[in-house]
Structure 1
Amino acid sequence: MEAERARPVTIPSDSRPDIPPLPSPFAPFRPARPASGRRVRERFAGLFAPPSTGPSVPGGATTAGGGQPCAEPRTVPFARNLAAFGDRTALITEDGELSYRQLAARVAETAERLGPARRLVLLAGANRVDALVVYLAALSAGHPLLLVPGDSDSTLESLTAAYAPDVVAVPRQAENGTTTWALDERHPTSAHTLHPDLALLLSTSGSTGSPKLVRLSHDNLQANAESIASYQDIGDSDRAATTLPMHYCYGLSVINSHLLRGAGLIVTGRSVADAGFWELFRAARGTVLAGVPYTFDLLDRVGFEGMRLPELRRVTQAGGRLAPERVVRYAELGRRAGWELFVMYGQTEATARMAYLPPRRAAERPQAVGVPIPGGSFRLEPLDGPDGTGAPDTGELVYTGPNVMLGYAETPADLALGRTVGELRTGDIARRASDGLYEIVGRRSRFAKILGLRIDPQRVEGLLERHGVRAYCAGDDDALAVAVASEEGAEADASRVRRLVADACGLPVRAIRVRVVPDLPRLATGKPDYEAVRRLTRPAAEPSRDSARNRPGEATTEELCRLYAEILDRRDVTEDSSFVGLGGDSLSYVEMSLRLEEALGTLPADWHTTPIRELRAPGPSPTPRPARRRRTLETGIALRAVGIVLVVSAHIPVYFVQGGAHVLLGVAGFNFARFHLTDAPRGRRVRALGRSILRIAVPSMVWLAFALALTREYDLANLLLVNSLFPQDNSHPEWRYWFVEALVHFLIVLTALLALPLLDRAERRSPFGFALGLVALGVIGRYDPLGLAHVRFHLSPTVVFFLFALGWAAARARTVPRRLLLTAVLLATVPGLFPGAEGQSLRTVVVVAGLALLIWVPVLPSLDPVNRLAGLLAGSSLYIYLTHFHVYPYIRDDSPVLALLVSLAVGVMYGSLATRLMRCAPRWLDRRRAAAFVQAPGTR
């Protein structure tokens, strides 16, 4: 059992960052220790001298091992001296600003709570003010900090088990729904022997969750922050956004270097693909953007090139190789827009950075990583054996500098060690060009031996890139695993990739496993996830269909992946996948949301755009899970279920309450914005929209063909869903399927519009503004000034489009003023839409109430049986609408209620059949294409 465990202590939340709590009068700020002559020389004259490589005595005279407080603990100066910048703005969030003086007060109070005895503190990192306060408090008070990803339960649990931290700082969900940070004190004094130089423990790239950690000292952190601030010329007027995870050394270096210079940090967890990020960045007058290669993919998608960012001064890139042509493009873009591009190179073992490419050289030397950072130096160690290339000025890159780690830790006993390395063997193969710039040409540790041949996966990636194919490659036993981005092609391209790789490497095709995926797998830091590449290309194991259901609220990430794979019929699901990223739409959304709520216990907001690995709440649960959970039902699902029942009931009639179909149009627009307007590239967006149109149109046309053969009530215009485009005679059958026609017409037109680069960029830059523009167009159509409406005015696509647009805008309205605006439009436009007086006031109330719920209320309280029934009806609503016209006439004279129930049941059955057939069709077509490709003469 652990030592007595103190009750968790909640630290100040960042819910009101502009009014920080004052530190206790009995715990004044810890005064800065007077610098001795030696420390002055270290900080200024000798800051960039190579570290000492002499032996270090574990647990020296000043160590706090065993929980004994140091008389004078070593600390990190930039964390200790925050108050020196006074009232300058330190942190900017969506809720307000925090000055350096206020930040220092919160850091001091948290440091007091950590106590004077050095203890190992585990922090679940997140781009939040609370997490940053704990980080700075530990550094300023001399407590070694183990920084882990706050969005990975498995990593948090494994490192907690491996290192038994004395204090655990994790986010906790309060009863009112807000998130607060808490200090869970597990040992009053440290259970470990902690070396006095130890300041920070980080996972290496690709080893998240592994017990192998990088040990960094106080001097490592200070020196690297000083060096980065120096070559980037960071000033106190700079404001950098937290575009990268805090637990990632690159993201952390942005924080450290800017705090060191008294600059501002824009603290946000939003992605650069989120319009809300750019609203905050502009409002905060952001000057610095940092990104890994994947970040630049997202910048391309959101139209960064056309953005107006007058305050932007610096864009920095690290975390992997950015293709030279993209370096040139961004360098030229920066030159035109007035900002500089810094391409950098680093490793966690070097705290963060080792080299940078001067911005003026980026366009002419885009393949280089540049020169060593101030105070650092490189040497090239000749390569022996099969790695040797024989090329001059080429070898393994070895780095020396004050930012080189103390060494690795693999067990708690290693926390007592001092410096065990004096230089860093990077594992990268590099060459020094004649102009003095270094270039990375390979990676020793990535070499794979396959069937006796030594293969460099990085060179294979470069080969495929030259052929226009984006791919990640990794060795896996006796095969080369290759993951290819699907935007580069489909099944036939997998064969092409195999041939390209086989010809270049001399491998047989059978030794190359290729998997086409929608997005290349990446770690949370944005770096390539090569383990996922190996896993994706292996034959898939049969999933357990109901494993996530059997333990409600306790599903593992692996079980969630299986659940997504089952419902979306995808084989490429990874923990970084999201519902919309996998092509989920409104037809699969209902089943996914209900099954996911069963698996998670509660359904997080915006779960459909959240990666699977982030779905489970981080941190251990503070209280045992209650036996019964309060269930909720998303308003959109409830409206779909109620709406379709109202439609069928009014047609029989069981009870004559109209307006359900018009509410369903608003819900369709709401779902369109949620599931189709993702951050995917324009081409992928358009293809996904095309597939959704087919999923609606094909089952509709098949049923209409059956109805035409059965009743002869329809004609070719009905069958092709173009009836509203021709003159009407007001006969009853011809307008029955107005709803399906309108929906298909809307989707086709919007797909065509969003295929235009100009409109695609406009929607990404201002999602709500774009939707509001469509609402304005829809309102004009609502009053039909051009006389386009057919004889049944309120069923004409041009008239009812404003309801679809209102639903779209509701999905984008995240603030109260925007919702008030949409409500005002709703109240002004729906009255008078429906003809006649009798019963139309009730119809108007139904439509207004339904769409107002969609705008204002995201979820409704519910029960398990209600959720299951609503999910079944909502998921089959389209098919119920299609079939009910040809079911209830045979039964209603005997029993209207029975006619209603049978109509609903037939629609559910047709929906199940249609869904299965539509899922099987792509596989059948793929097999036909593959067979034709194999049988084609002259091919292999």
Structure 2
Amino acid sequence: MYFFEEQVLDKDRIYLRSEKEGSVTYGELDCFCKEMGTHMEKRTLVFLLCQNTAGSVLGYIACLRNRVVPLLLDCKMDYNMLKDLICHYEPDYVFAPKGHQGYSPDERTQLVYEAYGYNLYDISKETETKLNEDLALLLTTSGSTGSPKLVRQSYENIQSNAESIVEYLELNEKERPISTLPMNYTYGLSIINSHTLCGATILLTEHTMFEHEFWEYFKAEEATSFGGVPFTYEMLKRIQFFHMDLPSLRTMTQAGGKLSRALQKEFALYAIKAGVKFVIMYGQTEATARMSWLPPECVLEKAGSIGISIPGGAFSIVDGELVYEGKNVTLGYAKCKEDLAKKDERHGVLYTGDLARKDEDGFYYITGRKKRFLKILGSRVNLDEIEQILKGRYKDVCFACTGVDDRLDIFVEKGAGLCSEEIVDFISKKIKMNDGVLQVRQIDSIPLNHSGKIHYRELEEM
């Protein structure tokens, strides 16, 4: 039985606690899914404009349960990008927050259902959208919310990954995770999936971890866990997280990029002192969510490692590239409406695009991206490695590296108060590179995408 289907549970158990809508029980979830299902035809396509609210999560579960395929999008995405996607894929429905400024129904649309602050619009169209029978969910590729390139996930993909996460994190119905990431981002969605599977209570807030209202809600609702990307943990240190009193906290997870070794060790030491599990994870949208985890008892000894493969998965290294096999490897990409009918193109094998090594104990380490290389004066330069060297030298400073062959661009925030000449001198000596090919660019802030990762494309266009 899939995690999103009606379960034999205590129907009065709280499924969601939302700052906006209050509590929703598992019994009310079942009723909502049945009601919404009467307004949608099965095997159709819906654009779901996501928020961390009850209406958004319930709409997602209702789509899966009724065999309607949702494309999850940030409700704050640019209007023109949304309009282009609608023209590109021609959805049958749009599920959007009431009064949403980015979606304007036209004469082709009809409001057919409304609940929990959301409206369901039926879009009349002349042609039918053909969907592969295994297709369950569509997500944008990381960092490209406006791109027509989507990841096709199957019902088996999301079920197997949720089961694996529940197993290695040892989740149960007593968990109370709090939302810290967008649900249209694969990491944020995996938290919803895994905790729905184990019958937990999910706490929803649209406040960020950098607002005092978030921590008030965290304490009032006795949240037990949160997840974050590297930027999240960099900022947590800045806001004096180590001095907070959070007696209900049991687990912290990190994914979405490589955390510096120094910061990983700081949070590991905090976790040991506080009696909290700190779990480093690695994943991609193309693998549904998670591919590896670093057991918390190894987080100090194996600092910098992504750990071992998740239950049910397996790693290998082919010509330096990390390759993953498992039931959570997705069906492939879609670049147009016709691609939604495609069959499984990966057959459980994913070439990650990450370069990696394995140590003598079987733990894996990401050493860079296959495409994050430049050729400088005839030598290959790993941009991720340069960033890690800089972060190791200048603690708590955010750097980003881009460039073209024979020119390396190093971006740093003006507020860090660093001298460009000093950075150039340090890197040129550290990696034995002519300082004439280095360029330091001081900017107001490093741009981040919706999931908190560095937006390299925007930097390249500066």
Normalised to the residue count of structure 1, the TM-score between the two structures is: 0.46
Unaligned segments of structure 1, at least 5 residues: 1-42, 44-76, 383-394, 537-940
The one-letter code matched in structure 1 to 2:6 is: N
Aligned-pair distance for 1:180?
Answer: 3.2
Q: How does 1:644-793 map to 2 (within 5 A)?
A: none
Q: Is the 8 A contact 2:139 2:184 kept in 1?
A: yes
Structure 1 residue 125 corresponds to structure 2 residue 50: yes
Deviations 1:471-497 (CA, angstroms, capped at 9, x unpaired): 11113465322211334324xx11222
Q: Is the 8 A contact 1:291 1:317 kept in 2?
A: yes
Normalised to the residue count of structure 2, the TM-score between the two structures is: 0.91
Structure 1 residue 356 corresponds to structure 2 residue 293: yes
Q: Is the 8 A contact 1:244 1:525 kept in 2?
A: yes
2:111 aligned partner: none
Aligned counterpart for 2:442 among listed residues 504, 512, 516 = 516
Deviations 1:420-462 (CA, angstroms, capped at 9, x unpaired): 1120001111111011111111211111234544221111112
Q: SS where residue 48 of structure 2 aligns?
A: strand
1:483 aligned partner: 411
2:104 aligned partner: none
Deviations 1:796-833 (CA, angstroms, capped at 9, x unpaired): xxxxxxxxxxxxxxxxxxxxxxxxxxxxxxxxxxxxxx
Deviations 1:560-581 (CA, angstroms, capped at 9, x unpaired): xxxxxxxxxxxxxxxxxxxxxx
The one-letter code matched in structure 2 to 1:530 is: Y
- Which entry has the higher C-alpha Rg, 1 or 2? 1
1:103 aligned partner: 29
Q: Distance in 2 between matches of 1:180 and 1:234?
A: 30
Q: Is the 8 A contact 1:430 1:439 kept in 2?
A: yes
2:122 aligned partner: 185
Structure 1 residue 365 corresponds to structure 2 residue 302: yes
Call closer, same or farther: CA 1:183–1:327 in 2, change over 3 Å. same
Q: Is the 8 A contact 1:368 1:437 kept in 2?
A: yes
Aligned-pair distance for 1:118?
Answer: 1.6
Aligned-pair distance for 1:106?
Answer: 1.5
Q: Is the 8 A contact 1:139 1:199 kept in 2?
A: yes
Call closer, same or farther: CA 1:435–1:487 in 2, change over 3 Å. farther
Q: SS where residue 79 of structure 1 aligns?
A: coil
Q: Distance in 2 between matches of 1:528 and 1:147?
A: 21
2:365 aligned partner: 439
Q: Distance in 2 between matches of 1:407 and 1:262?
A: 30
Q: Is the 8 A contact 1:149 1:155 kept in 2?
A: no
Aligned counterpart for 1:525 among listed residues 441, 451, 462 = 451
Q: Distance in 2 between matches of 1:174 and 1:473?
A: 36
Aligned counterpart for 2:89 among listed residues 144, 163, 175 = 163
1:221 aligned partner: 158
Call closer, same or farther: CA 1:146–1:125 in 2, change over 3 Å. same
Q: How does 1:80-479 map to 2 (within 5 A)?
A: 80-82=5-7, 84-95=9-20, 96-115=22-41, 117-153=42-78, 154-173=80-99, 180-187=117-124, 191-382=128-319, 395-422=320-347, 423-450=349-376, 452-468=378-394, 470-476=398-404, 479=407
Q: Distance in 1 between matches of 2:169 and 2:163?
A: 10
Q: Distance in 1 between matches of 2:99 and 2:144?
A: 28
The one-letter code matched in structure 1 to 2:413 is: A
The one-letter code matched in structure 1 to 2:157 is: N
The one-letter code matched in structure 2 to 1:300 is: K
Q: Distance in 2 between matches of 1:344 and 1:268?
A: 23
Q: SS where residue 229 of structure 1 aligns?
A: helix
Q: Is the 8 A contact 1:320 1:527 kept in 2?
A: yes
Aligned-pair distance for 1:202?
Answer: 0.9
The one-letter code matched in structure 2 to 1:203 is: T
The one-letter code matched in structure 2 to 1:252 is: L
Note the aligned Cα RMSD (angstroms).
Answer: 2.1
Q: Is the 8 A contact 1:319 1:345 kept in 2?
A: yes
Call closer, same or farther: CA 1:476–1:111 in 2, change over 3 Å. farther
Call closer, same or farther: CA 1:466–1:174 in 2, change over 3 Å. closer
Q: SS where residue 108 of structure 1 aligns?
A: helix
Count of aligned pairs: 444
Aligned-pair distance for 1:311?
Answer: 1.2
Aligned counterpart for 2:461 among listed residues 523, 535, 558 = 535
Q: Is the 8 A contact 1:148 1:155 kept in 2?
A: no
Q: Distance in 1 between matches of 2:126 and 2:329?
A: 29
Call closer, same or farther: CA 1:330–1:466 in 2, change over 3 Å. closer
Q: Is the 8 A contact 1:481 1:533 kept in 2?
A: no
Q: Is the 8 A contact 1:397 1:425 kept in 2?
A: yes
2:112 aligned partner: none
Aligned-pair distance for 1:83?
Answer: 6.4
Q: How does 1:627-642 map to 2 (within 5 A)?
A: none
Aligned-pair distance for 1:504?
Answer: 4.6
Q: Is the 8 A contact 1:356 1:371 kept in 2?
A: yes
Q: Distance in 2 between matches of 1:157 and 1:445?
A: 31
Q: SS where residue 426 of structure 1 aligns?
A: strand
Q: Is the 8 A contact 1:119 1:189 kept in 2?
A: no
- Which has more strand, going by share of residues? 2
Deviations 1:135-192 (CA, angstroms, capped at 9, x unpaired): 11110011111111111124422322221111111223289xx993222211378721
Call closer, same or farther: CA 1:236–1:131 in 2, change over 3 Å. same
Q: Is the 8 A contact 1:120 1:190 kept in 2?
A: no
Larger RCO, structures 1/2 (Cα 8 Å, 6+ apart): 2
Q: Distance in 2 between matches of 1:307 and 1:508?
A: 46
The one-letter code matched in structure 1 to 2:323 is: V
Identity of aligned residues (%): 39
Q: Is the 8 A contact 2:54 2:116 kept in 1?
A: no
Q: Is the 8 A contact 1:83 1:104 kept in 2?
A: no
Q: Distance in 2 between matches of 1:462 and 1:105?
A: 50
Q: Is the 8 A contact 1:214 1:348 kept in 2?
A: yes
- Which has more helix, going by share of residues? 1
Aligned-pair distance for 1:466?
Answer: 2.6
Q: Is the 8 A contact 1:482 1:514 kept in 2?
A: yes
Q: Is the 8 A contact 1:370 1:437 kept in 2?
A: yes
The one-letter code matched in structure 2 to 1:250 is: Y
2:4 aligned partner: 79
Q: Distance in 1 between matches of 2:172 and 2:457?
A: 40
1:36 aligned partner: none
Q: SS where residue 445 of structure 2 aligns?
A: coil
Aligned-pair distance for 1:501?
Answer: 3.4
